[in-house]
Every structure is written in structure tokens, then in C-alpha cells.
Amino acid sequence: MNTTRSESLFERSKISIPGGVNSPVRAFRSVGGVPRFIRRGEGSRVIDEDGNSYIDYVCSWGPLLLGHRFPDVIEALRGVLDIGSSFGAPTEREVELAELIREAVPSMEMVRLVNSGTEATMSALRVARGFTGRDLTIKFEGCYHGHVDSLLVKAGSGMATLAITDTVGVPAGFAATTIALPFNSISAVEEAFAKHRDQIAAVIIEPVAGNMGCVPPLPGYLQALRDITARHGALLIFDEVMTGFRVALGGAQSLYGIHPDLSTFGKVIGGGLPIAAYGGRADIMSRVAPLGPIYQAGTLSGNPMAVAAGLAMLRHLKTHPEIYAQLESRAAALCANPPAGVTVNRVGSMFTMFFTDGPVTGWDTAKKSDTARYAKYFHWMLEHGVYLAPSQFEAAFLSAAHSEEDIAHTAAAMRAFFEQ
Ligand SMILES: *Cc1c(COP(=O)(O)O)cnc(C)c1O
């Protein structure tokens, strides 16, 4: 496989951009080698600057549930080009998008649009603190909620990949407002509430963790969080930036039948454009400015391009519910019969093959994975035209554009790796 153009672009990039990338996980640091510079995407595939074509299981880290250049999204974007790229004033499409979100996710009684998942979780946390008058937050080890100062404690995603436990640059006082507990342990949460009575504003969780690799909640776990938070007057925040509109149209909360107080969405919601949302109970969201004193704003929030793409995406998902059944069966086929020494976790179209005997139920068990073996697997797959996340601790994503042939090709490459 010829990668000379990616190599030279990476060398050039490292001079101007830290690590040569605009987000750490793109740098291939934990698996080694040269990141592929992508020239274009089409359906289930990305094509790099050297002309190599790969079946893409990164899907821009989640957003591309309908694959690259989905026609409805492209057409919607073309339409906006004739109108203007930003107004800083309300538009009809924003109302339509908010209504569509409310309809798909009933707990979202009111919703604010922002520009990234990080902004959504940061804002939801501020609202939770403003509403409850409390400062502390419980998060879970291995969960990632964007690069919000106080949430970069024992975080997943690139922090897990690069073994950075607590980031430099966050004042100790901010980090001290976060209590990090093991995922899937109810007793740890009970103990924290007993110890910090009336001080905990919110519990924030990825209802299906994806940022330490895919780790589903154990039966009863999310309901227990719902009960404990309600009992203690704390808010339950579901960070559905990854799971929203992916594991089901109504997100993980519809899959598990839980009604959180606040939720955050991103990734799929924008069809590949930068947009995210937070919202939930109307009595809470009514405290946000200009209705109330909790301030949150954004110059490009509700941007017409991003809103149009998101609307096209969500409308298509709403009118084609059969997509979720197709994703389920194709992902199940891909994840069937894992070889010895490999544990597969999957919820719908997000999944991870952990190179450990398992079970993997949280960060302590995820981190037992053999990351050197994952790196070998990753490079083997890449050489065989399959583009996976360059880290053991990430979820793989299937899109509706992935065909039976894509799945068969991927499964054959996987089998060949484990046979040799
Ligand atoms: C990706 C992600 C974020 C951060 O979103 P950005 O758009 O990258 O800021 C937050 N929470 C979860 C669960 C995510 O997967």
C-alpha cells in the first residue's frame, strides 16, 4: 500500500499543527504509523490522498450514520448556499429541528442548539449547577464528555488512549468539583451521595459508554441512577452525544426506558456538520437566558448549514425506521463468533472488540486489553482496506451505507488476521 502522500503531508502538518492533527486521537499515537490523510468519502468508504480506498468504521467518530455524502444531506447543504451561511438571528429551520428532536426524544421538552458536544455537556452542567444551586458532579471512569475543564478527570477517548489521567491546565479547584466513580457500580454512587449529601448537582453518564470502547450498562444500572438522583434532588444527565439517534431514534434513553432530566446530543444530529444540542425538562431549561439567569450563548449556534444538514439527517431517520433493523443485523453478523481472547461488546451499530478475555464492564476491565495486539490488528485491517479507530478504547460505527459485501470483506480480513 502506497502512503507517500500521507507521509509527506503528515511531516508538513507537524510543523504547523500540534502533533500534525486537530484532535489527538487522529494521530495514530497508540498504534504507530502514519495517519491517512483523507481526500474524500463516498458511502461506506474513505479514499486517502494516495488513492487507497477503505471501508470506514470510524464514520467521522460517529456522526455519519447514513454514510459519507448522503444525498439528502448534500442536497440540503446546496440549498443553503443560495440563502446565506449565517445570520445570528432566528430561522424557521431551527424551530423545525428543535421540534423534530422533541418528537424523537420525549424527555427533551426544550432544547438549545450549540456547536459541539463539548459545548453541550459544558452547558448542561452549568444549567444543572444553576438549577440545583450545588457544585459537585459525579462522572464515571472511562466516560468522555468532551474537553470541558471539570470533566477531564479519568476521562475516556484520547485521554484513555494516551494514558493521560488528569489533564494539565485544569485548575485543581475545577477538578475538585468532579467525583469520578467506576462505571456500572451502583454502590459507589450510593456511597458518594451519602458522603456529599446535598452537594451533588448532577450525575452525568454516557448511557452506553463508547469512549473506553463500547461498554453497555448492566441490567438495572441506569434505573438505579435514576432512582438515586431523584431521591437526592440531583439531576441525571444522559450524555447521548454518541448514542443519540444511533442506538435508536430516541437514543439510549428510549432503548433502556429511562427519562433523564437533561440530555446532550451531537455527532449524528448534524449529519457531519458541527452542531450539538442540550435540553430536557422545561422547568430546568426555563432558567437559561434570556428566560432566566443561567447564561449560555453562541455566535454560530443554530448555524443554517449545520441545521439544514441535521434536519435532512433526522427527517430521513424518522421516515426510514427500518434502517435501525438493518444496522442491528449487519452489526450482529460482524460481531458474531469472536475468537478466543477477544471480547465483543455491542449495542446496535456501535461495538468494540476488546483484546481481553472479558467481560468488559468498565474502565478497570477495559484497560486489561492487550493494546499491542490491537495495534497489530489495526494495521492488518488497514492494509486490507478496513479503516478502524486507531485505538483500542474507541467504538466502531456501522453506517446504513455499509453493504453486505462490506461486512463480508471485513469479516474475511478479521478471520485472516486471527488465523495467521
Ligand atoms: C464526542 C463526544 C463528546 C464531545 O463532542 P465534541 O463534538 O467532540 O466536542 C461528548 N460526549 C460524548 C459521549 C462524546 O462521544
| Centre of ligand 1 from the C-alpha of residue 415, in Å | 32
- Mean pLDDT along residues 78-104: 97
- Same domain for 233 and 149, yes or no, is yes
- Same domain for 85 and 218, yes or no, is yes
Task: Answer yes or no: is pLDDT of 345 > 80.
Answer: yes
Is residue 3 a contact partner of residue 36, using CB atoms and an 8 Å limit? yes
* The residue type at 54: Y
Other CB atoms closer than 10 Å to residue 176's CB: what's the count? 12
Q: Where is the domain boundary, 294, 319, 344?
A: 319
Residue 268: give its domain's CATH number. 3.40.640.10
- Same domain for 340 and 247, yes or no, is no
Ligand 1 binding pocket includes 280 (Cβ within 6 Å): no
Ligand 1 binding pocket includes 43 (Cβ within 6 Å): no
**The predicted structure's pLDDT at residue 166:** 76
The residue to mutate among 212, 237, 241, having the most atoms of ligand 1 within 8 angstroms of its beta carbon, is 241
Told to judge if 227 belongs to the known catalytic residues of this protein, a careful annotator would answer no
Q: Running DSSP on this structure, what letter comes out for residue 155? A: -
Sign of the dihedral defined by the CA atoms of residues 131, 135, 141, 145, in that order: positive
Ligand 1 binding pocket includes 394 (Cβ within 6 Å): no
Query: What is the per-residue pLDDT across 277-325, written as a single tens digit (0 to 9) for each?
Result: 999 999 999 999 999 999 999 999 999 999 999 999 999 999 999 999 9
Task: Answer yes or no: is pLDDT of 243 > 90.
Answer: yes
Q: Where is the domain boundary, 319, 348, 377?
A: 319
Task: Answer yes or no: is pLDDT of 352 > 80.
Answer: yes
Told to judge if 267 belongs to the known catalytic residues of this protein, a careful annotator would answer yes
- Mean pLDDT along residues 390-412: 98
Query: What is the domain count for the chain?
Result: 2
| Average pLDDT of the residues of the chain | 96
Residue 222 CB partners (closer than 8 Å, separation 6+): 205, 207, 256, 258
Query: What is the per-residue pLDDT across 36-74, written as a single tens digit (0 to 9) for each?
Result: 999 999 999 999 999 999 999 999 999 999 999 999 999
- Mean pLDDT along residues 219-238: 98
> Which ligand 1 atom minimizes the distance to the CA of 206?
13
What span, in angstroms and rounded, lies between the C-alpha atoms of 350 and 46? 19
Told to judge if 195 belongs to the known catalytic residues of this protein, a careful annotator would answer no
Return the residue whose CA atom lies nearest to atom 5 of ligand 1.
Answer: 117
Q: Tell me which of 48, 56, 221, 239 is the catalytic residue.
A: 239
Q: Where is the domain boundary, 266, 300, 319?
A: 319
**The predicted structure's pLDDT at residue 317:** 98
**The predicted structure's pLDDT at residue 148:** 92
- Same domain for 227 and 336, yes or no, is no
| Centre of ligand 1 from the C-alpha of residue 241, in Å | 5
Other CB atoms closer than 10 Å to residue 257's CB: what's the count? 10
Query: What is the per-residue pLDDT across 124-177, written as a single tens digit (0 to 9) for each?
Result: 999 999 999 999 999 999 999 999 998 988 888 888 788 777 788 988 889 999
Ligand 1 binding pocket includes 192 (Cβ within 6 Å): no
**The predicted structure's pLDDT at residue 156:** 84
Is residue 68 a contact partner of residue 46, using CB atoms and an 8 Å limit? yes
- Same domain for 91 and 239, yes or no, is yes
Listing DSSP states for 263-304 in one string gives EEE-GGGGTTSS-EEEEE-HHHHTTBTTTSSB----TTTT-H
> Which ligand 1 atom minimizes the distance to the CA of 117?
5
What span, in angstroms and rounded, lies between the C-alpha atoms of 361 and 212? 10
Here the cell at position 305 is 448549514
- Same domain for 286 and 155, yes or no, is yes
Ligand 1 binding pocket includes 145 (Cβ within 6 Å): yes
The whole model's pTM is what?
0.97
| Centre of ligand 1 from the C-alpha of residue 276, in Å | 9
- Same domain for 256 and 331, yes or no, is no
- Same domain for 274 and 311, yes or no, is yes
Ligand 1 binding pocket includes 118 (Cβ within 6 Å): yes
User: What range does the domain containing 338 cover?
Assistant: 4-69+321-419
- Same domain for 177 and 244, yes or no, is yes
- Same domain for 34 and 98, yes or no, is no
**The predicted structure's pLDDT at residue 286:** 98
| Centre of ligand 1 from the C-alpha of residue 263, in Å | 12
- Same domain for 64 and 209, yes or no, is no
- Mean pLDDT along residues 98-118: 98
Burial class (CB in 10 A: 0-12, 13-18, 19+), 33: middle
Residue 20: give its domain's CATH number. 3.90.1150.10
Ligand 1 binding pocket includes 242 (Cβ within 6 Å): yes
Query: What is the per-residue pLDDT across 165-215, written as a single tens digit (0 to 9) for each?
Result: 778 898 888 999 999 999 999 999 999 999 999 999 999 999 999 999 999
Other CB atoms closer than 10 Å to residue 254's CB: what's the count? 16
- Same domain for 315 and 195, yes or no, is yes
- Mean pLDDT along residues 224-234: 98
Ligand 1 binding pocket includes 229 (Cβ within 6 Å): no
